[in-house]
């Protein structure tokens, strides 16, 4: 592992806070902040920190969160009692209004600290990109793409991505947001609906009514009014169960390659949700670490300043594999690292299989049926190309 050296000619920064990882959403809740600890343990076991600038992230301030979120929402988030505490008499009303305290977005101990640390990491990453101290900044504790201005949603309370992209917009004319989480990046899409300075692209499982959050159809490209500069700047790639590495990589490269030519982003915000991997507790796809990571590598090769965020990912061993390998891509060490997980990796037994790249059979037993036809994927590419004809600057 001592063969891992700093990449030549560019800088990568890694933003994490071990305090964040100690928070718990509750016994049965799928979101396990501990997956960040497992990721860091693998990144460290491979010696990758030697090749990066490592920052212990601070909590974002109220004012920073306020750049996107409403004050009444933040005030409530900061003061809301944990679920097992005595409730305030007028609060049930606010919990409903802000979608807090249900099973998806429980009020747990230290919630505000957890949220502000997640956003602090993403914001630090954005600042490093802005002031050119980093070319790639990694914030695996962020990527919480569902949170709205005044509403929690789908395990997300603070939209760290929106806060970070708003920071990028201070220094870059155009930002491309790409989302490979299995869920639709609805919160980020909605936040930038009315600007042509941000293009959002989400790849996701789409089945309204039965799969969360139910939005992100092929035809949903932003409000199409004559006066909306943001029209056509929301791109959605709705997919069915069981998509394979080969199909996904091809689709991703075709679509992102074309968007890069047309939109010419000056910075990229890449949400790397790992619930699109095969074997994820909530996911539906057949992606392996190789296919997921190929998307990251493709973005890296565009040579545009980039933030890599985390996001979903509910089978911690697979999340750690993907994000550790994607960290190695950022530092250009992926061809050098041994696929066998180092002997001295803490919690090594949690990985079950001792490789970074288990086979689909090892992950799943029986692979999930692939419900994506070539014909449908072609239609999606065709539709995206048509949308991009409207994009000029």
Task: Give the residue numbers annotated as catalytic, written as ranges.
Answer: 146
Q: How far from chain centre, in Å, is Cα 52?
A: 20
Stretches 33-41, 46-54, 138-146, 364-372: which one binds ligand V1S (CB under 6 A)? 138-146
Q: In Å, how far are 3, 38, 150, 360, 362 from 354, measured between CA atoms?
A: 21, 14, 43, 14, 11
**Site stretch for ligand V1S (CB under 6 A), options 56-64, 148-156, 229-237, 385-393:** 148-156
Q: Given the complex with Ca ion, which of 139 and 178 has the nearer CB atom?
A: 178
Among 186, 189, 275, 326, binds Zn ion (CB under 5 A): 275
The DSSP output letter for 338 is -
Strand partners of residue 238: 204
Binding map of Ca ion across residues 160-199, x = CB under 5 A, - = no contact: -------------------x-x------------------
Q: Assess 280 for contact with ligand V1S (CB under 6 A).
A: no
**Chain residues 255-274 in contact with Ca ion, contact rule CB under 5 A:** none
Phi first, then psi, for residue 316 (nearest 5°) are: -50, -35
* Residue in 104, 151, 179, 181 binding Zn ion, rule: CB under 5 A: 181
Contacted entry of Ca ion, Zn ion, ligand V1S, none for residue 212, CB cut-off 5 to 8 Å set by kind: ligand V1S
Which C-beta is closer to ligand V1S: that of 105 or that of 333?
Answer: 105
Distance CA 312, CA 213 (A): 13
* Candidates 191-199, 231-239, 304-312, 322-330; binding stretch for Zn ion (CB under 5 A): 304-312
Burial 102-141 (b: 16+ CB within 10 A, else e): eebbbbbeebbbbbbbbbbbbbbbbbbbbeeebbbbbbbb
The one of Ca ion, ligand V1S, Zn ion, none whose footprint includes residue 204, by CB under 5 to 8 A per kind, is: Ca ion
Can you say whether the dihedral through the CA atoms of 120, 176, 136, 166 is positive or negative? negative
Q: Give Dmax over CA atoms of the chain in angstroms.
A: 60
Q: Which of 35, 128, 146, 183 binds Zn ion (CB under 5 A)?
A: 183
339 neighbors 355 (Cβ within 8 angstroms): yes
210 vs 22, 55, 301, 327, 342, CA distance in Å? 32, 40, 36, 33, 40
Q: Which is nearer to ligand V1S, 57 or 202 (CB)?
A: 202
Q: How far is the CB of 268 from Ca ion (least distance, A)?
A: 15
User: Applying CB under 5 A, which part among 85-93, 166-174, 290-298, 308-316 lies near Zn ion?
Assistant: 308-316
Closer CB to ligand V1S, residue 144 or residue 388?
144
Interaction residues for ligand V1S, span 260-279 (CB under 6 A): 273, 275
Contact pattern from residue 299 through residue 328 relative to ligand V1S, giving x for each residue in contact according to CB under 6 A and a dash for the rest: ------------xx----------------
CA pair distance 380, 198, nearest whole angstrom: 21
103 binds ligand V1S (CB under 6 A): yes
C-alpha span between 273 and 181 (Å, rounded): 4
Q: Which helix (H) or strand (E) holds 56?
A: strand 53-56
Under the criterion CB under 5 A, does residue 187 sit at the interface with Zn ion?
Answer: no
CB 252 within 8 A of CB 259: no
In whole angstroms, how close is the CB of 216 to Ca ion at the nearest point? 8
- Residue (of 275, 291, 157, 152) closest to 211 by Cα position: 275
Nearer to Zn ion, 174 or 183 (CB): 183
Residue 346, Cβ neighbours under 10 Å: how many? 12
Q: Which one among 106, 143, 185, 273 touches Zn ion, defined by CB under 5 A?
A: 273
Using CB under 6 A, which of the segments 28-36, 89-97, 119-127, 222-230 binds ligand V1S?
28-36
Binding to ligand V1S (CB under 6 A) within 150-189 occurs at: 154-156, 181, 183
From edge to edge, which strands make up the β-sheet containing 53-56?
Answer: 53-56, 12-16, 136-139, 306-309, 267-271, 175-179, 198-205, 234-239
Rg from Cα positions in the chain: 20
Q: Near Zn ion by CB under 5 A, which window of 68-76, 305-313, 366-374, 377-385? A: 305-313
Question: Which spans of this chain sit near ligand V1S (rule: CB under 6 A)?
Answer: 28-30, 103-104, 144-146, 154-156, 181, 183, 212, 273, 275, 282, 311-312
Footprint on this chain of Zn ion (rule: CB under 5 A): 181, 183, 273, 275, 312
For Ca ion, the binding residues (CB under 5 A) are: 179, 181, 202, 204
């Amino acid at each position: 592992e001592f063969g891992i050296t700093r990449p030549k000619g560019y800088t990568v920064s890694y933003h994490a806070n071990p305090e964040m990882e100690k928070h718990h959403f509750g016994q049965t809740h799928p979101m396990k902040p501990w997956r960040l600890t497992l990721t860091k343990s693998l990144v460290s076991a491979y010696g990758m920190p030697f090749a990066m600038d490592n920052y212990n992230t601070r909590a974002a301030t109220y004012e920073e969160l306020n750049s996107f979120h409403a004050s009444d929402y933040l005030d409530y988030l900061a003061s809301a009692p944990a679920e097992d505490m005595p409730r305030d008499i007028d609060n049930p009303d606010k919990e409903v209004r802000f979608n807090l305290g249900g099973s998806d977005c429980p009020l747990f101990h230290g919630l505000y600290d957890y949220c502000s640390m997640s956003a602090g990491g993403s914001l630090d990453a954005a600042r490093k990109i802005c002031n050119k101290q980093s070319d790639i900044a990694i914030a695996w504790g962020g990527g919480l793409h569902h949170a709205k201005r005044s509403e929690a949603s789908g395990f997300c309370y603070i939209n760290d991505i929106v806060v970070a992209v708003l920071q990028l917009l201070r220094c870059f004319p155009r930002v491309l947001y790409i989302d490979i989480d299995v869920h639709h990046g609805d919160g980020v899409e909605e936040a930038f609906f009315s600007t042509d300075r941000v293009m959002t692209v989400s790849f996701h499982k789409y089945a309204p009514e039965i799969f969360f959050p139910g939005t992100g159809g092929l035809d949903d490209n932003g409000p199409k009014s004559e006066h909306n500069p943001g029209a056509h700047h929301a791109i959605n790639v709705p997919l069915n169960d069981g998509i394979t590495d080969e199909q996904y990589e091809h689709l991703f490269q075709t679509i992102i390659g074309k968007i890069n030519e047309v939109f010419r982003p000056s910075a990229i915000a890449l949400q790397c949700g790992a619930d699109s991997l095969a074997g994820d507790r909530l996911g539906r796809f057949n992606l392996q670490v190789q296919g997921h990571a190929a998307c990251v590598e493709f973005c890296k090769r565009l040579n545009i300043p980039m933030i890599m965020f985390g996001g979903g990912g509910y089978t911690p061993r697979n999340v750690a594999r993907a994000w550790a390998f994607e960290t190695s891509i950022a530092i250009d060490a992926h061809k050098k690292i041994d696929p066998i997980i180092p002997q001295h990796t803490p919690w090594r037994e949690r990985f079950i299989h001792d490789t970074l790249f288990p086979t689909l059979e090892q992950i799943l037993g029986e692979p999930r049926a692939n419900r994506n036809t070539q014909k449908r994927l072609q239609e999606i590419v065709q539709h995206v190309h048509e949308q991009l004809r409207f994009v000029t600057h």
